[in-house]
Structure 1
Amino acid sequence: MAVLIDRPMWPAHGTLWSHLVSDRSLDELHAFARAAGIPERAFDLDHYDVPAERYDQLVAAGAEPVSNRDLVVRLRDSGLRITARTRRHGG
Structure 2
Amino acid sequence: MILIDPPAWPAWNRVWSHLVSDESHDELHAFAKAAGIPVRGFDRDHYDVPSDRYDDLVAAGAVPVSSRELVRRLIAAGLRHRKQPPTQGS
Using the size of structure 1 for normalisation, the TM-score is 0.91
Question: Gaps (5+ residues) in structure 1?
Answer: none
Question: Gaps (5+ residues) in structure 2?
Answer: none
Q: Tell me which residue corresponds to 2:20.
A: 21
Secondary structure class of the residue paired with 1:11 = strand
Larger radius of gyration: 2
Aligned length, in residue pairs: 87
Tell me how far apart the structure 2 counterparts of residues 77 and 21 of structure 1 sit (CA, whole Å). 13
Secondary structure class of the residue paired with 1:21 = strand
If each structure's helix is expressed as a fraction of its own residues, which one has the higher value?
1
Q: Tell me which residue corresponds to 1:4.
A: 3
Q: Kindly indicate whether residue 79 of structure 2 is the aligned counterpart of residue 54 of structure 1.
A: no
- Once the two structures are TM-superposed, the CA of residue 84 in structure 1 deviates from its matched residue by 2.3
Identity, in percent, stands at 64
Secondary structure class of the residue paired with 2:71 = helix
- Once the two structures are TM-superposed, the CA of residue 88 in structure 1 deviates from its matched residue by 6.3
| Aligned residue runs from structure 1 range 28-67, under 5 A | 28-67=27-66
Misfit runs of 4+, over 3 Å = none
Using the size of structure 2 for normalisation, the TM-score is 0.92
Q: Tell me which residue corresponds to 1:72.
A: 71
